[in-house]
Amino acid sequence: MMTMGRLVNRLAAVLCMLIASSAACSPVRAEDGYDLWLRYAPLEGEALQRLQSFNPLVRSDVQSAQGSPMLSVATSELRVGLAKLTGGGPPTGNESRGLVTLRCGQSTAGDGRFTVTGSPREITISGPGETSCLYGAFALLRELSLGRDPAMIALSERPAMPLRMLNHWDNPDGHVERGYAGRSIFDWWRLPDRLDPRLIDYARANASLGINGAVVNNVNASPLYLTPRYLPKLKRIADAWRPYGIRLYIAARFSAPRDVGGLNTADPLDPAVRGWWKAKADAIYAAIPDFGGFLVKASSEGQPGPQDYGRSHADGANMLGAALGARGTVIWRAFVYQPENRADRTKQAFDEFKPLDGDFADNVIVQVKNGPLDFQPREPFHPLFGAVPKTRLMLELQVTREYLGQASGIVYLGPMWEEVLRADTGHGGSIAQMVAPAGMAGVANTGSDRNWTGGHFDQANWYAFGRMAWDPSLSAKAIAQEWTALTFSRNLAVIARIVPDMLASREAVVDYTGPLGLAHQMATGHHYGPGPWVCDLPRADWNPCYYASADKQGIGYDRTGKGSNALAQYAPNVAARWADPAQMDERYLLWFHHLPWTYPMRSGRSLWHELVAGYDRGVARVDTIAANWAALAPYIDAERHTDVAAGLSSQRREARQWRDASLAYWQSRNGLALPFGTRAPDHPLEWYRLETTPEAPGR
Amino acid sequence: MMTMGRLVNRLAAVLCMLIASSAACSPVRAEDGYDLWLRYAPLEGEALQRLQSFNPLVRSDVQSAQGSPMLSVATSELRVGLAKLTGGGPPTGNESRGLVTLRCGQSTAGDGRFTVTGSPREITISGPGETSCLYGAFALLRELSLGRDPAMIALSERPAMPLRMLNHWDNPDGHVERGYAGRSIFDWWRLPDRLDPRLIDYARANASLGINGAVVNNVNASPLYLTPRYLPKLKRIADAWRPYGIRLYIAARFSAPRDVGGLNTADPLDPAVRGWWKAKADAIYAAIPDFGGFLVKASSEGQPGPQDYGRSHADGANMLGAALGARGTVIWRAFVYQPENRADRTKQAFDEFKPLDGDFADNVIVQVKNGPLDFQPREPFHPLFGAVPKTRLMLELQVTREYLGQASGIVYLGPMWEEVLRADTGHGGSIAQMVAPAGMAGVANTGSDRNWTGGHFDQANWYAFGRMAWDPSLSAKAIAQEWTALTFSRNLAVIARIVPDMLASREAVVDYTGPLGLAHQMATGHHYGPGPWVCDLPRADWNPCYYASADKQGIGYDRTGKGSNALAQYAPNVAARWADPAQMDERYLLWFHHLPWTYPMRSGRSLWHELVAGYDRGVARVDTIAANWAALAPYIDAERHTDVAAGLSSQRREARQWRDASLAYWQSRNGLALPFGTRAPDHPLEWYRLETTPEAPGR
């Protein structure tokens, strides 16, 4: 009977190659993106034949495999994945001609290092712990999905950094701060009774990348997560994620002892406060033995923190660290941004944290955004990297596109992160090297939308974040190729069309929102459209006009010694690199220098003409990306093709609006004409000022 | 080549019956509920053989079928549905042994009446207009899905009422007021660029029931929908829905001429205001020629309205009616609820609208909720039905379960609506008869959740609403049987287990939230849990304590001549039926009468003991439903079974909480002991008072 099952599948597969009209040969439902990069689309041609003739049986060497949820996840993923790749059912013992053997230590600790070794009759996945087999299984499936010959597979990998985390800015009511993909995937209302199956597929996707931690709630944290009512909810998720190697963390509200603990202070040096946190941690660990720890945004943007009591960040972080002990980690954010007026907001984190170097407890990590401002399309790297050698630093990236067009069109962030990770800090290493002892966090872009991320191409950012956290030496290009093959098509011609546009897409959004080092030019509140004219917000450094400092004579923020001297926060060789506008990388020009509109650029153009050329280049690039995508219609399933095309149509309009609104505003400042032959803005400046988008996510 | 395609399907189908292990034989993905009642699960046994031997080719008699989007929807649904039911691909001309012929008039008007006539070789769908073929196609597919013999099919149907509508209480930002299934399905942010494919499947689902209109936004209406920026968004949806026979309506904010029109008044008698609405309607019709019209909530719960200018509801409604003209309909809600203190809130609609009978223009309909309070688990019917013979009345039902447990567990509303539709108004007909010239509206329960409605069984309420609007003579039981077979299983034993529990589920929620005619006992704001003790809200009739009027002596709201005399708003024979507590239907007892706790019930028990028995019956019923569902595990796909079980687990806890909190409160009023052998509440009253659910939807 079993062999008949195989026979049906084989017959169907062979006949399907001959005929196209049968419903049995094509999926009835269009692809909606839910399967992410774990589609395991059936192989074709030679790759299919190779895998079919290998036809492996999956087995585990470990006696206790039956009792190991993690090994059972690994074997089940392999069985399902192999069956889908061959377009058939799993093989039976009699028919199998090959083996996939899991040979891993039984420890649930270990960093997940693995080897995968192919041979004509057997592929072996091995490593010191169960996570080795988990990650090895997903790595093998990726290789096979990419069409590699099973016999030739030889992988030997280990993660570059211990913590590879997603930070969810999700609130108890389901709203996601800076979320553009629907509601939160965490339904706190129905938990713990109902565990959304989506949370299992989320864990699979993360495990496939080696992501091993997730903070389930917003850093602007509700204290609810620290109440007893939430513990069963958190436990239900942690239990579900454990077999996927994902530890659950929560963002902790620093004032929780006052908010929900019945105390009248949250002073980190107060014994009652310290006791409250210790008891809270004990209660959490009683329910969730592998609880990861706390992420904390404190004394920043109005959030409570140790400074409310005249204490330092180290006082606050170390108090929480003592409550967790060796069981967990405190991740303390360096994104501090206090309401007192400062000369230059980008200097504040360095000023506050540099003096604390060496003061943080062993289980405290300081989490630093890639740049010193706030997730702009391009910023120079954050000066703290390399500057606090006695502090473990973690890199915080934003996977969700708060300032980069949200979920419209295509903006692949791989090139930005490659730029960041490879940046030379001037302190004896790259940023990737500086954060290797701690890790990387990405602000997640997931939501309840069926495709998880709002736009199909935003899945690539989740994917790239995970891959780079595992191995920062991977190039944005290699990751894009891999992702495209797994997600859309193995057709090399299709990959060759898509990948260059992905790689160019980040520079496009830099160009059409603010070229030459401009930043923070977005509209208020939702951070979606252009607002360079905004100049009336109560605090100076909330205003785009403050950052561009555009007037009749020139534009740019002077961060040299004549200005805010933020440059001095960098290592001397780095500061020197950026000190001279004539010698420096012009992509950072107006971040560091205020220059006349007539300033001569290396292209020979004036700064003004170069700026216009930048906006125009960004708009033209998006037009090209959209045209290239349209031409791919025959090669992509209709549902996803249509959806991406709609997103690109939005992005084209947005790019044009950013460019036109910005140019109209700069002209209102400098009174200069546009270069000859340049298209005038579609509308007068006033029209752009009056544009409102009340339903924009983030309002 | 084509016959080989058929061969593969046949071979696969036959072999699949012999073997169970092949992946080709079972869907890889568990059922997530997205397909609703349109799953077209493959037939089995005799029904499969019958349909396979009939094996029909679908064709249209109409020459212009190619050019008709609606006929193309009908034929495509038939082809896909037939292929899925037989588990194969669509047949080709040579192989086909049967025909399904569409023979409908080419008009897009018409009420959708159809006949479907089977014979051994041909099934004919016919009727006067294109909607006849649309509705006939879905009706045929339903019959075939239920396993009926194609040759014996003989349907002849026409809708009982012209308007069969869903009202969405969805806001521009995606929040759904009283929504328990995620965010809005309408993504106004991405429209018009992106049309969510979900909106097509939504239209299919509605068309399959005969629902022919949808109001896309909340009655607490944002004026945005009347701005030029929204017109392309609305047009995109209307264009997509047109082939499914669904007209788009919007809820119009009465003050829009002031809010977004630049006028300083919204007085309906002001010529500028009238001109503004006329121009607005003209602009809408230029883009959407079949725009349905406006739904209006005015001068109620703080919404602007004609009373702001000393004008009547008729003045306001007729002004909008004049703007639409013959092109559309104004649906004016009778749910009026003004902040002035009233003796009895349930009397207000009757008091305001009865004197206006005969004053409304021909294209104005007044929409009346089923009961005079607000969608409680049980209310007597609204006294306006039958009382305003010169006014077209529409029945408004709430499909979403605002006061009935939201998306937890199983609450099938069919029995409630059957009760309402069949209620004798005392004015010469049932409510179904009274609304036949206008129609029915249901406040939708759809959202972005993959299963559309939050809970899988909530799909049944969408289904039942549509079926009853098409044919109010259908019984709740027949509809439940049909829905269960289409949605879960054709296994008669399974249907026999599920349907009685569905039918009992509404009485269960009445019992555990407020038996014997109690109402409005819910917590503030979210309307989810119990709050009988709430007595401190600024307005008397916001408080549950006001509605129960429980004191040491007794309980109930006196609406007889000695009390508010709301009873006098009903026809004399109806009022007489409810006037005498000793003779009346005890299910409405405390709605109309304040009675001593010792009042002797017909059961022989005291009122107090009868009340306790009611709560206990409700709790026990939910326990039974959950146990019965658990026993069905072998017959339901695991994903949906688990999900419903989780919901029932919530509902069991909620039922217990409602019962315990209510009894603890009544005991605090009456000081009486519980009947011997009755379980005491799990906690003291104070515990229930302190319960908070900050993440409850609706906060």
pLDDT at residue B5 greater than cutoff 60: no
pLDDT at residue A157 greater than cutoff 50: yes
A 193-212: CB under 8 A from B:
193-195, 197
Looking at chain B, which residue has its C-alpha nearest residue A639?
B197
**Which amino acid does the sequence have at A403?**
Y
- B459-470 vs B198-209: helix axis angle to the nearest 10? 40
Measured CA to CA, the distance from residue A580 to residue A194 in angstroms comes to: 59
A170 touches chain B (CB under 8 A): no
Tokens of A414: 């791989």
Measured CA to CA, the distance from residue B471 to residue B156 in angstroms comes to: 12
* Best residue of B19, B171, B175 to probe chain A, by most A CBs closer than 10 Å: B19
Q: Do B11 and A8 touch (CB under 8 A)?
A: yes
pLDDT tens for each residue of A245-300: 999 999 999 999 999 999 999 999 999 999 999 999 999 999 999 999 999 999 99
A183: nearest CB among B4, B30, B183: B183
Omega cis (within 30) before B192 = yes
- Which of A131-135, A602-606, B29-33 comes out lowest in average pLDDT? B29-33
Q: Which residues of B touch A646 (CB under 8 A)?
A: 190, 193-195
B537 touches chain A (CB under 8 A): no
pLDDT at B695: 85
Residue A387 CB neighbour total at 10 angstroms? 20
Q: Which residues of A touch B83 (CB under 8 A)?
A: 23
pLDDT at A184: 96
Looking at chain B, which residue has its C-alpha nearest residue A92?
B21
Q: Which among A542, A296, A576 has a CA at the least distance from the CA of A424?
A: A576
Instruction: Please answer whether residues A265 and A273 qualify as being in contact, where contact means their C-beta atoms are separated by less than 8 angstroms.
Output: yes
**Which amino acid does the sequence have at B42?**
P
- Closest approach of chain A CAs to the CA of B647, in angstroms? 7
- Closest approach of chain B CAs to the CA of A76, in angstroms? 13
A44, A301, A362, A551: the catalytic one is A301
As a residue count, chain B comes to 699
> Does the active-site annotation cover B157?
no
Q: Which residues of A touch B693 (CB under 8 A)?
A: 189
- Closest approach of chain A CAs to the CA of B87, in angstroms? 9
Instruction: Please answer whether residues B72 and B66 qualify as being in contact, where contact means their C-beta atoms are separated by less than 8 angstroms.
Output: yes
B694 touches chain A (CB under 8 A): yes
- Closest approach of chain B CAs to the CA of A575, in angstroms? 43
A 360-419: CB under 8 A from B:
407
Per DSSP, helices labelled H in A212-255 are 231-241
Confidence of residue B343 (pLDDT cuts 50, 70, 90): confident
pLDDT at residue B302 greater than cutoff 70: yes
A649 touches chain B (CB under 8 A): yes
pLDDT tens for each residue of A478-517: 999 999 999 999 999 999 999 999 999 999 999 999 999 9
Looking at chain B, which residue has its C-alpha nearest residue A173?
B695
% of chain A surpassing 70 pLDDT: 93
Report, as an integer, the average pLDDT of A563-591: 97
Confidence of residue A88 (pLDDT cuts 50, 70, 90): confident
Q: Do A172 and B694 touch (CB under 8 A)?
A: yes
- Closest approach of chain B CAs to the CA of A430, in angstroms? 40
pLDDT at A10: 45
A 616-645: CB under 8 A from B:
639, 643
A14 touches chain B (CB under 8 A): no
A 421-450: CB under 8 A from B:
448-450
pLDDT at residue A323 greater than cutoff 80: yes
Omega cis (within 30) before B377 = no
pLDDT tens for each residue of B446-475: 999 999 999 999 999 999 999 999 999 999
> Does the active-site annotation cover A374?
yes
Q: What is the value of pTM for the model shown? A: 0.93
**For the residues of B197-242, what is the DSSP string, one character each?**
THHHHHHHHHHHHT--EEE-S-SS--GGGGSGGGHHHHHHHHHHHG
Q: Which among B370, B617, B417 has a CA at the least distance from the CA of B515?
A: B617
pLDDT at A653: 97
pLDDT at A27: 35
pLDDT at residue A527 greater than cutoff 70: yes
- Mean pLDDT, rounded, of chain B: 93
> Does the active-site annotation cover B402?
yes
Instruction: Please answer whether residues B151 and B119 qualify as being in contact, where contact means their C-beta atoms are separated by less than 8 angstroms.
Output: yes
pLDDT at residue A650 greater than cutoff 50: yes
pLDDT at B90: 57
pLDDT at A94: 58
ipTM rounded to 2 decimals: 0.90
B 32-51: CB under 8 A from A:
32
CA atoms within 13 A on the CB side of B257: 25
pLDDT at A59: 87
pLDDT at A342: 67
pLDDT at residue A18 greater than cutoff 50: no
Higher pLDDT, B338 or B246: B246
% of chain B surpassing 90 pLDDT: 87
Q: Which residues pair with B127 in a beta bridge?
A: B104
pLDDT at residue B381 greater than cutoff 70: yes
User: Chains A, B: CB contacts under 8 A, how many?
Assistant: 167
pLDDT at A697: 83
Looking at chain A, which residue has its C-alpha nearest residue B193?
A646
**Percentages helix, strand, coil for chain B, rounded to the nearest 5?**
45, 10, 45
pLDDT at residue A316 greater than cutoff 90: yes
B340 touches chain A (CB under 8 A): no
pLDDT at A172: 95
Measured CA to CA, the distance from residue A358 to residue A348 in angstroms comes to: 19
Report, as an integer, the average pLDDT of A444-456: 97
- Closest approach of chain B CAs to the CA of A422, in angstroms? 36
Looking at chain A, which residue has its C-alpha nearest residue B15?
A8
B90 touches chain A (CB under 8 A): yes
Confidence of residue A692 (pLDDT cuts 50, 70, 90): confident
* Best residue of B21, B36, B39, B189 to probe chain A, by most A CBs closer than 10 Å: B189
Residue A64 CB neighbour total at 10 angstroms? 10
pLDDT at A160: 98
pLDDT at A64: 53
pLDDT at B88: 75
pLDDT at A12: 42
- A476-487 vs A492-513: helix axis angle to the nearest 10? 120
A61, A177, A187, A374: the catalytic one is A374
pLDDT tens for each residue of B55-111: 888 988 765 556 899 999 999 999 999 999 998 765 555 566 789 999 998 887 789
pLDDT at B314: 98
As a residue count, chain A comes to 699
pLDDT tens for each residue of B579-636: 999 999 999 999 999 999 999 999 999 999 999 999 999 999 999 999 999 999 999 9
Confidence of residue A669 (pLDDT cuts 50, 70, 90): very high
Looking at chain A, which residue has its C-alpha nearest residue B86?
A23
